[in-house]
């Protein structure tokens, strides 16, 4: 049996590829034409499915229900045609056939009904998941930085796992949602992890071999200081010939071992990581130095734009972390080599529950850009809270930086709007937890990220609906699950930091409320609440000028509290507590209302989940029930801390007389 369809270890959840989801396909007559490693993967899938569900793998030209036909090209697109009782997938190459196979699985019985044709192609060429996994257990961050799903799938306490069976199962899940790149290690590259590039390369070879049959290429996060720390050179200056030679030789060694290696991910001059600034160079110099080493082999540098002063003085109200990426990167547009992708966090701060879209995305028309999202729930409840992030990502990817007539963020990333194609990247939420993602319902975020990266036009409800149908056998779970999950991101937003102001989380861990936790810190994340008002003035007129980094119409819409969307008001403006929102309520009453309401919505979520007892697997039911208890406890704590904080500061009583402590 092909490794990719090996049975899961005992107790591990099958996620969205359980046995019943393969039955519509596996119970039919299927033919496969073509050759190559990915065709072999599909053949293995089909063989396993028909063996389980009573179908037949047919070799001859007799009539079949499903005809999978693959050419010798390499594209990811495919066509599905249904006519004369046969569903035919035509793919130009292995990747297309693999994605076509999973497309048919997703369609289920509907794939074998009626007469129709569809041409399916990914909207983004690069659909990548980064893994902030450490080889060594980090003393503070543990095995997986910002990981909330147990240990790493790849590493365990200092070494790559001997048994990569679960990595193979993970790769299969990722292939089924169209992921085609993975970053294998934490962007904060510590000592042992740096060596994955050199003497630990054989471990990377093993991992690449597990991802390869699923059409997934691997990347490594590398340290910009590697020429010094690994190479023993006196400098890592990107313009130094010896440094360039070191990167060239080292990269050649990587490709000798992994010919389809995808490239490097680099976090440079960011939160203490080394970078080109240390040598008086800029980020184009830095990125291009690595790009030139990768160029001969077709590799790519994913260079993160997450550069800001993390030792800011809270007293200094002119420095604005939101401005930093644009200030650093926009002037470099046009200077990056064509195998550099600048990887930009979707928002200007850091994966908050609500942020505007980063203005960098509209500011670099001559640069390949990848939009970076966060599936792991660092600021959104640590996979203890149900917080369906697909609507957030959908909103950001659909945002039109130049207004209604122009392209979306997804168009820019895809090269359809301005400039060359980059892609979409996210930080994975998976680990060695039996449910993969800690919270079983957080699987929907991983699934949804892949699907949106493939096609940003899918609605959040459609994607969730696919996931529900694949994951749960009982059709009656669909309604309750939509009710519970659909708006859970907005619920989370309600009971946490209000109106786009962000943070208010406990420092370090980022779980649970601490309104002033970052208020006097060097991290540049402040709310400036005083007895009169709250929010950050980022206007051109009186604030940090951040609004000026947006093109029209947003530079003007954000500039005035009258036109700024309510949900971002405190991101852009410092307003009095009595300021009246477009919704008609004052800021402080909005804070009270949303915090009371958000917490009550969690009560209802728990009641909705309780309806599902007996309709979902018992282990899933138990885990989610338990976590909803924690979510309710935490939401109550959020409600009370935030309300008490603003009541103490503003002195304004709740108009509805509810209890504020």
Q: Which residues carry out catalysis?
A: 271, 350, 378
Among 440, 513, 543, 561, binds a copy of itself (CB under 8 A): 513
Region of 293-301, 330-338, 486-494, 509-517 interacting with a copy of itself (CB under 8 A): 509-517
Among 74, 520, 597, 610, binds a copy of itself (CB under 8 A): 520
CB of 190 to a copy of itself, least distance (A): 18
CB of 634 to a copy of itself, least distance (A): 13
Among 190, 482, 615, 649, binds a copy of itself (CB under 8 A): 649
CA–CA dist 473, 239 (Å, integer): 58
CA–CA dist 277, 283 (Å, integer): 8
Q: Which is nearer to a copy of itself, 34 or 512 (CB)?
A: 512
Residue 550's nearest CA partner among 361, 325, 392 is 361
CA–CA dist 425, 126 (Å, integer): 8
Q: Which is nearer to a copy of itself, 32 or 534 (CB)?
A: 534
Q: Which is nearer to a copy of itself, 260 or 637 (CB)?
A: 637
CB of 382 to a copy of itself, least distance (A): 18
CA angle, 375 then 377 then 381, to 5°: 150
202 Cα distance to chain centroid: 28
CA angle, 603 then 148 then 210, to 5°: 130
Region of 150-158, 346-354, 466-474, 649-657 interacting with a copy of itself (CB under 8 A): 649-657
Instruction: Return the C-alpha torsion angle 40, 45, 51, 54, nearest 10.
Output: -120
Q: Which is nearer to a copy of itself, 604 or 648 (CB)?
A: 648
Among 136, 319, 641, 654, binds a copy of itself (CB under 8 A): 641
Residue 212's nearest CA partner among 248, 257, 156 is 257
CA–CA dist 266, 495 (Å, integer): 35
Among 65, 433, 514, 537, binds a copy of itself (CB under 8 A): 514
Q: Which is nearer to a copy of itself, 76 or 514 (CB)?
A: 514
Per-residue b or e along 204-219, where b marks 16 or more CB atoms closer than 10 Å to that residue's CB? beebbebbbbbbbbbb
CA–CA dist 420, 364 (Å, integer): 10
Q: Which is nearer to a copy of itself, 314 or 621 (CB)?
A: 314
CA–CA dist 348, 365 (Å, integer): 18
Region of 76-84, 187-195, 433-441, 648-656 interacting with a copy of itself (CB under 8 A): 648-656
Q: Which is nearer to a copy of itself, 137 or 330 (CB)?
A: 137
Region of 107-115, 460-468, 496-504, 526-534 interacting with a copy of itself (CB under 8 A): 526-534
Among 531, 562, 614, 657, binds a copy of itself (CB under 8 A): 531
519 Cα distance to chain centroid: 27
CA–CA dist 586, 389 (Å, integer): 27
A 10 A CB-CB count for 480 gives 18
One symbol per residue from 548 to 587: x for binding a copy of itself (CB under 8 A), - otherwise; what is it?
A: ----------------------------------------
Task: Say which DSSP state 113 is in.
Answer: S
Q: By CB under 8 A, tell whether 524 contacts a copy of itself.
A: no
Among 446, 529, 575, 635, binds a copy of itself (CB under 8 A): 529
CA–CA dist 515, 531 (Å, integer): 14
Site size with a copy of itself, rule: CB under 8 A? 23
Indicate left, alpha or beta for 304 from its phi (over 0: left) and psi (-120 to 50: alpha): beta
Among 315, 541, 618, 657, binds a copy of itself (CB under 8 A): 315
CB of 640 to a copy of itself, least distance (A): 6
Region of 39-47, 91-99, 332-340, 508-516 interacting with a copy of itself (CB under 8 A): 508-516
Among 85, 249, 622, 648, binds a copy of itself (CB under 8 A): 648
DSSP secondary structure of 361-388: GGS-TTSEEEEEEE-S-TTTTTTTS---
DSSP secondary structure of 446-470: HHHHHHHHH-TTS-HHHHHHHHHHH
Task: Say which DSSP state 513 is in.
Answer: B
The number of residues making up the chain comes to 661
CB of 588 to a copy of itself, least distance (A): 12
CB of 541 to a copy of itself, least distance (A): 22
Residue 364's nearest CA partner among 333, 387, 385, 394 is 333
Q: Which is nearer to a copy of itself, 530 or 626 (CB)?
A: 530
Among 113, 532, 597, 626, binds a copy of itself (CB under 8 A): 532
CB of 314 to a copy of itself, least distance (A): 8
Q: Which is nearer to a copy of itself, 474 or 530 (CB)?
A: 530
Q: By CB under 8 A, tell whether 635 contacts a copy of itself.
A: no
CA-atom Rg of the chain in angstroms: 25
Region of 11-19, 66-74, 141-149, 641-649 interacting with a copy of itself (CB under 8 A): 641-649
**Cβ contacts of 60-63, under 8 Å, gap ≥ 24:** 63/29
Among 651, 653, 655, 658, binds a copy of itself (CB under 8 A): 651
CB of 291 to a copy of itself, least distance (A): 41
CA–CA dist 135, 152 (Å, integer): 9
Among 59, 405, 656, 661, binds a copy of itself (CB under 8 A): 661
CA–CA dist 447, 449 (Å, integer): 6
Q: By CB under 8 A, tell whether 318 contacts a copy of itself.
A: no
Region of 333-341, 416-424, 463-471, 523-531 interacting with a copy of itself (CB under 8 A): 523-531
Query: CB of 220 within 8 A of CB of 262?
Result: no
Among 644, 653, 655, 658, binds a copy of itself (CB under 8 A): 644
Query: CB of 302 within 8 A of CB of 294?
Result: no
Q: By CB under 8 A, tell whether 530 contacts a copy of itself.
A: yes
Among 455, 487, 516, 611, binds a copy of itself (CB under 8 A): 516
Q: By CB under 8 A, tell whether 413 contacts a copy of itself.
A: no
Query: CB of 228 within 8 A of CB of 260?
Result: no
295-314: contacts with a copy of itself (CB under 8 A): 314
119-138: contacts with a copy of itself (CB under 8 A): none
Residue 508 class from Cβ within 10 Å (0-12 exposed, 13-18 middle, 19+ buried)? exposed
For 592, the 3-state DSSP assignment is helix
Query: CB of 16 within 8 A of CB of 193?
Result: no
Binding site for a copy of itself (CB under 8 A): 139, 314-315, 513-516, 520, 529-532, 637, 640-641, 644-645, 647-651, 661
């Amino acid at each position: 049996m092909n490794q990719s369809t090996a049975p899961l270890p005992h107790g591990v959840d099958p996620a969205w590829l359980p046995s019943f989801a393969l039955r519509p396909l596996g119970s039919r007559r299927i033919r496969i034409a073509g050759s190559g490693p990915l065709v072999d993967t599909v053949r293995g899938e089909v063989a396993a499915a028909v063996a389980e569900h009573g179908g037949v793998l047919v070799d001859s030209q007799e009539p079949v229900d499903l005809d999978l036909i693959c050419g010798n090209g390499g594209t990811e697109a495919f066509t599905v045609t249904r006519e004369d009782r046969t569903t035919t997938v035509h793919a130009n190459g292995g990747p297309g056939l693999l994605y076509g196979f999973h497309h048919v699985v997703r369609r289920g019985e509907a794939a074998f009904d009626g007469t129709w044709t569809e041409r399916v192609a990914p909207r983004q060429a690069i659909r990548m998941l980064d893994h902030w996994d450490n080889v060594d257990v980090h003393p503070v961050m543990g095995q997986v930085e910002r990981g909330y799903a147990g240990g790493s799938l790849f590493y365990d306490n200092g070494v790559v796992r001997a048994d990569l069976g679960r990595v193979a199962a993970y790769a299969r899940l990722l292939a089924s949602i169209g992921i085609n790149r993975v970053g294998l290690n934490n962007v904060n590259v510590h000592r042992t992890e740096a060596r994955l590039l050199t003497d630990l390369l054989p471990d990377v070879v093993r991992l690449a071999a597990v991802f390869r049959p699923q059409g997934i290429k691997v990347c490594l996060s590398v340290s910009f200081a590697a020429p010094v720390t690994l190479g023993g050179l006196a400098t890592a200056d990107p313009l130094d010939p010896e440094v360039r030679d070191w990167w060239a030789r080292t990269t050649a060694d990587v490709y000798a071992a992994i010919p389809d290696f995808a490239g490097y991910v680099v976090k440079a001059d960011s939160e203490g990581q080394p970078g080109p600034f240390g040598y008086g160079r800029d980020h184009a110099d830095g990125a291009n130095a690595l790009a030139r080493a990768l160029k001969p082999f077709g590799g790519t540098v994913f260079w993160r734009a997450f550069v800001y002063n993390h030792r800011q003085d809270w007293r200094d109200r002119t420095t604005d972390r939101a401005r930093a990426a644009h200030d650093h990167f926009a002037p470099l547009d046009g200077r990056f080599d064509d195998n550099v992708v600048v990887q930009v966090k979707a928002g200007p701060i850091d994966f908050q529950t609500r942020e505007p879209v980063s203005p960098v995305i509209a500011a670099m028309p001559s640069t390949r850009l990848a939009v970076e999202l966060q599936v792991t729930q660092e600021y959104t409840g640590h996979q203890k809270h149900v917080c369906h992030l697909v609507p957030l990502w959908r909103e950001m990817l659909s945002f039109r930086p130049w207004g209604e007539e122009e392209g979306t963020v997804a168009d820019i990333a895809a090269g359809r709007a301005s400039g060359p194609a980059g892609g979409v990247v996210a930080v994975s939420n998976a680990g060695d937890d039996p449910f993969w993602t800690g919270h079983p319902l957080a699987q929907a975020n991983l699934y949804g990220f892949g699907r949106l990266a493939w096609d940003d036009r899918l609605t959040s409800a459609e994607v969730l609906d696919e996931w529900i149908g694949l994951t749960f056998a009982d059709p009656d779970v669909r309604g309750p699950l939509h009710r519970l999950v659909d708006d859970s991101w907005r619920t989370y937003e309600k009971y946490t930091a209000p109106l786009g102001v962000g943070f208010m989380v406990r420092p370090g861990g980022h779980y649970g409320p601490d309104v002033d936790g970052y208020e006097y810190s060097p991290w540049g994340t402040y709310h400036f609440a005083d007895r009169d008002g709250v929010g950050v003035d980022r206007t051109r007129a009186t604030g940090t000028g951040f609004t000026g980094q947006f093109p029209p119409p947003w530079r003007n819409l954000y500039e005035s509290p009258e036109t700024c969307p309510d949900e971002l008001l405190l991101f852009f403006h410092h307003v009095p507590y009595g300021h009246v929102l477009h919704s008609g309520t004052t800021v402080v009453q909005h804070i009270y209302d949303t915090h009371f309401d958000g917490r009550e919505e969690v009560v209802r979520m728990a009641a909705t989940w309780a309806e599902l007892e007996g309709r979902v697997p018992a282990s899933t039911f138990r885990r989610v029930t338990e976590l909803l208890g924690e979510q309710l406890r935490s939401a109550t704590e959020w409600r009370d801390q935030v309300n008490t904080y603003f009541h103490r500061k503003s002195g304004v009583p709740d108009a509805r007389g509810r209890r504020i402590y």
